[in-house]
Amino acid sequence: MTEQTLTSAAAERGPLAMEAVSVSKDFRLGHGHTLHAVRDVSFGLYRGAVVALVGESGSGKTTAARLLAGQVRLTSGVIRLDGQAVEVSSRSAFRRYKSQVQLVFQDPFASLNPVHTVRYHLERPVKLHQPGADVSKEVVTLLEQVRLTPARQFLAKYPHELSGGQRQRVSFARALAAHPTVLLADEPVSMLDVSIRLEMLGLLDDLRRRFRLAMLYITHDIASARYFADEILVMYAGEIVERGPAEEVTQRPAHPYTQLLVASAPDPDNLGSALRGSGRRILSQEPYGSQPPQGSRKPEDAATTGCPFSPRCPFADDLCRREDPALMPVSATRAAACWHLDIAAPEVVSGPLGGGFPTTL
């Protein structure tokens, strides 16, 4: 397998904490349909590093996180934590696992119980995962770690008395209560106002550094991944179609889908050219179709053969519709799954990055 030659851009930060190897998840939909939510996905999470999983809704990002969190059973593949294959068959094994791997959800309005106080939300995981600890002292420490100060003031509050940002801080504190080594953050800032998103990412970054957390950052905002993550994995219809160092993937996207994502991000420096003014533009003119995401969402459309992006891809030909390209390295740290990288991204393949790597292209 060619992929083994690839080194993760996140690996230089620290040792491997968690690893997904050829992980797949199918959901049976009835009527003989199967939804391939995650297909043959492999990546590693390293201590002190952030790996971003970027893709649109329905691309399988959240399912991937839930697989890593042990909340859904794998269809195939292995997840390893500290080199050990994960078995969460028993309740106690699951709890041990949870004390190392914690998940933060997208919606701070839904993930906290409205009838319980902040204190209750934090005391429970402390009692569960740190038996014998001084609970009230630990809870105060947790609140201070997420910068909810003065902590005493927040303990008796109910979720509805907190702002969205404060609620999300409570969710972070709750995740930290278990003293995890891996933090899976599923769109942790997308429900928050733009003005406080940075602050929250800054806080996550601070926690990552302080506790050497191995972090998976799931988002549809590739621009925030550029700033926050070491490595970016781009997911489409359950597959990783491109991966590499954050700066390289965002500045010189190789896969046509990544190029579409980058082109769709709002560009404040591009005043007037794209949306304002007159005439028609953007996607209606560009080769990319504007169909809703297909693949994993609608089973009848799922490209069972060929590249899942081929129906929307401007470069697609018969080969693309017939055979699904594997993730192939284009440099020591980058890989993309596309038959036509030489046309789609010639500068990536032939540039200094591509030197010395045998590819089939």
Residue ranges that bind another protein, judged by CB under 8 A:
56-57, 147-150, 163-166, 193-199, 202, 220-224, 226-228, 247, 250, 260-262, 264-272, 274-276, 278, 280-284, 290, 292-293, 297
Nearer to another protein, 156 or 271 (CB): 271
Q: How far is the CB of 220 from another protein (least distance, A)?
A: 5
Three-state SS for 101? Answer: strand
Nearer to another protein, 25 or 226 (CB): 226
Q: How far is the CB of 171 from another protein (least distance, A)?
A: 16
Q: How far is the CB of 135 from another protein (least distance, A)?
A: 24
Nearer to another protein, 264 or 359 (CB): 264
Residues in Cβ contact with 352 at an 8 Å cutoff, skipping those fewer than 6 apart = none
Nearer to another protein, 156 or 282 (CB): 282
Contact 67, 303 (CB under 8 A): no
Tokens 């349909």 correspond to 33
DSSP for 262-289, written as a single string = HHHS--TTSTTTSSSSSS--GGGTSSS-
Q: How far is the CB of 33 from another protein (least distance, A)?
A: 16
Alpha helix positions (H), the chain: 61-68, 91-98, 118-129, 135-145, 151-155, 164-176, 194-211, 222-228, 246-251, 256-264, 318-322, 341-344, 346-350
Nearer to another protein, 181 or 259 (CB): 259
d(C-alpha 101, C-alpha 326), whole Å: 29
Nearer to another protein, 220 or 321 (CB): 220
Contact 140, 152 (CB under 8 A): yes
Q: How far is the CB of 54 from another protein (least distance, A)?
A: 10
CA-to-CA separations, 118 to 107, 115, 129, 295, in angstroms, rounded: 16, 10, 17, 41
Q: How far is the CB of 217 from another protein (least distance, A)?
A: 13
CA-to-CA separations, 36 to 64, 98, 105, 238, in angstroms, rounded: 12, 26, 23, 7
Nearer to another protein, 102 or 106 (CB): 106
Q: How far is the CB of 224 from another protein (least distance, A)?
A: 5
Q: How far is the CB of 222 from another protein (least distance, A)?
A: 7
Q: How far is the CB of 159 from another protein (least distance, A)?
A: 15
CB atoms within 10 A of CB 239: 26
Q: What angle do CA 255, 232, 254 make, to 5 degrees?
A: 15
Nearer to another protein, 32 or 266 (CB): 266
DSSP for 3-39, written as a single string = GGG---TTGGGS-EEEEEEEEEEEEEEETTEEEEEEE
Nearer to another protein, 88 or 261 (CB): 261
CB atoms within 10 A of CB 287: 12
Q: How far is the CB of 310 from another protein (least distance, A)?
A: 16
- Radius of gyration, CA atoms only, the chain: 21
CA-to-CA separations, 162 to 110, 119, 204, 271, 316, in angstroms, rounded: 13, 13, 19, 37, 49
Nearer to another protein, 84 or 284 (CB): 284
